[in-house]
A and B are shown apart, each in its own frame.
Chain A
Amino acid sequence: NAGVTQTPKFQVLKTGQSMTLQCAQDMNHNSMYWYRQDPGMGLRLIYYSASEGTTDKGEVPNGYNVSRLNKREFSLRLESAAPSQTSVYFCASSESHGNTIYFGEGSWLTVV
């Protein structure tokens, strides 16, 4: 039982490049989330998926897109990376919307 697994763990991108962060959970959770963490700002919600087939914007969705591929997987895509998107990204899941949220180990992204 791995919990929430996200890849890659580290990535360096050039401005304008695109990439996708992958996330999978093996807890049969309905809801999944993507957060970003920046120094002094805590964790901010980018997008979430309350259930398979639905996605909604969080606090800071600009510059990102998401796909809930199936119940297990929720990916985050940066279409044209910008230095402001340098951050640590966390995928998370919960049994249902509003229940305890479990986080992955994080993906460190640097945009140069």
Chain B
Amino acid sequence: GENVEQHPSTLSVQEGDSAVIKCTYSDSASNYFPWYKQELGKGPQLIIDIRSNVGEKKDQRIAVTLNKTAKHFSLHITETQPEDSAVYFCAASRYRRNTGKLIFGQGTTLQVKP
């Protein structure tokens, strides 16, 4: 079945450094790839997403890249700050087919040390 693998499971960086989280997906028909941030005790919140007709998307310190051939996509956070500490989830779905079945990765716990 459809599967999304996310690495690493934990990531610790110094404030100001960059952080990269990678995901691979199995369903070649997937064409929508959102990233969610989950703070302790709260629900996941969308931080950025990308569709398969775009290779890269940037929003201030956050960027996402997509390689459809290799079936992987990555989240890049530059100039990390302590408030970036959270659990990050990638996900994939067949957006056009409207299944609503976002398949999530296992999550990455990011710790930014001041």
Q: Interface residues, chain A, CB within 8 Å of chain B?
A: 4, 31, 33, 40-45, 48, 50, 58-59, 90, 92, 94, 96-98, 100-106
Secondary structure at chain B's binding surface: helix, strand, loop or mixed? mixed
Shortest distance in angstroms between B48's beta carbon and chain A's nearest beta carbon? 11
**Which partner residue on chain A sits nearest B42 by CB separation?**
A105
Please report the C-alpha to C-alpha distance between residue A70 and residue B98 in the assembled complex, in whole angstroms: 21
Instruction: For B46, list chain A residues within 8 Å (CB).
Output: 100-102
Total A-B pairs, Cβ < 8 A: 64
Interface assignment of B114: CB less than 8 Å from any CB of chain A? no
Contacts of B49 in A (CB 8 A): 100
User: B105 touching A31 by the CB < 8 A rule?
Assistant: no
Contact-residue bracket for chain B:
20 to 34
Question: Are A59 and B44 interface neighbours, CB within 8 A?
Answer: no
Complex contacts, B97 vs chain A, CB 8 Å = 98
In the bound complex, CA of A90 to CA of B104 (Å): 13
Residue pairs across A and B with Cβ atoms less than 8 A apart, 29 shown, are A31-B100, A40-B9, A41-B106, A42-B4, A42-B6, A42-B89, A42-B106, A42-B107, A43-B44, A43-B89, A43-B104, A44-B104, A45-B102, A50-B98, A58-B101, A59-B103, A92-B43, A96-B98, A97-B100, A98-B32, A98-B95, A98-B99, A98-B100, A100-B34, A101-B102, A102-B46, A103-B43, A105-B43, A106-B41
- Tell yes or no: B80 within 8 A of A by CB: no
Q: A24 CA to B8 CA in the complex, in Å? A: 34
By the criterion CB–CB under 8 Å, are B44 and A90 in contact?
A: yes
CB of B52 closer than 8 Å to a CB of A:
no
